[in-house]
Amino acid sequence: MTVKEYVQSEKNRLANLIKEKNLSPTLVIIQVNDDPASASYIRGKIKDAAEIGAKTIHDKLPEDISQAELIKIIQKYNDDSSVHGIIVQMPLPKQINEEAVKLAVNPKKDVDGFHPLSTFSPCTPKGIIKYLKAEKIDIQSKNAVIIGRSNIVGKPMAKLLLKENANTTILHSKTKREDMEFYLAHADIVVVAVGKRYFLDHSFKLKEDAVLIDVGINRHDGALCGDIEPDLNVRLQTPVPGGVGLLTRISLMDNLLEATVENEI
């Protein structure tokens, strides 16, 4: 099943759940920037929500808003029982501390999974695990290698892979090339989240039955490309575009539904 087919089946599942249980999931998207990439991500989220029958409130705030004012607005949505999920689109302007904003969102409505007490897993790693399971890829006792140790991808990915009992290794910019070659040659599952075009390429020896998950989004000559060179000789490799980006988006809807079910039933 391609990622696109899987995501469509998940959308159908969520849409049916909303209808069957007569739910009215509502997601608030707060935007405090004029960034074109953010605008495009937000359009995608609004479209996904509409497709499954969820409501979105897009609250675009002025870029010169103070941190205190922004937190007050977040608290208003925290207290509004008709709102089930709240996300604050990053990046934020300089005068606002990202951590303070993440901590201001009620953990029960933090569908991005950024709050340390959030009831939800961050969307990218969650989407990847669910896709691996849908593809019937064994995780338990397998060698999983993650390249990249960010708080939104690498670290939560390691946590979820450990939960599934994978032998989990995280590599990063200080890992020596010879060690990276060693770990990759033994890897059954490789997740690359570096942010460098074709970082993982044919110069690395990989298992023929390895599964490669490409998280990277890089712009090159006006086109999107991943962190992994396309068409490596492996069992499965997720494409860019049309791969992890879609898995991340569907996980947000999945988390929104979980938040709604928790509050409405």
| Binder of ligand NAP out of 78, 248, 251, 260 (CB under 6 A) | 248
Least distance CB 23 / ligand NAP (angstroms): 25
* 263 exposure class (CB count in 10 Å sphere: 0-12, 13-18, 19+): middle
Contact between 244 and ligand NAP by CB under 6 A: the answer reads: yes
112 flagged as catalytic: yes
Tokens representing residue 233 in the block = 């000789």
Query: What HEC string does 204-234 produce?
Result: CCCCCCCEEEECCCEEECCEEECCECCCCCC
| Residue 148 makes contact with ligand NAP by CB under 6 A | yes
User: Binder to ligand NAP among 54, 217, 228, 253 (CB under 6 A)?
Assistant: 217
β 223-225/218-220 pair status: antiparallel
**Is 89 an annotated catalytic residue?**
yes
Q: Give the nearest distance from C-beta 246 to ligand NAP in angstroms.
A: 8
Provide the minimum distance between the beta carbon of 237 and ligand NAP in the complex, in angstroms, as a whole number. Answer: 14
Rounded to a whole number of angstroms, the minimum distance from the CB of residue 201 to ligand NAP is: 12
Residue from 25, 125, 156, 216 that binds ligand NAP (CB under 6 A)?
A: 216
- 137: three-class secondary structure by DSSP: coil
Mask 183-202, x = binds ligand NAP (CB under 6 A)? ----------xxxx------
Kindly provide the residue ranges of all beta strands, DSSP E only, lying in the chain, ordered along the sequence.
Answer: 26-31, 55-60, 85-89, 143-147, 167-171, 189-192, 211-214, 218-220, 223-225, 236-237
Residues with catalytic function: 45, 89, 112
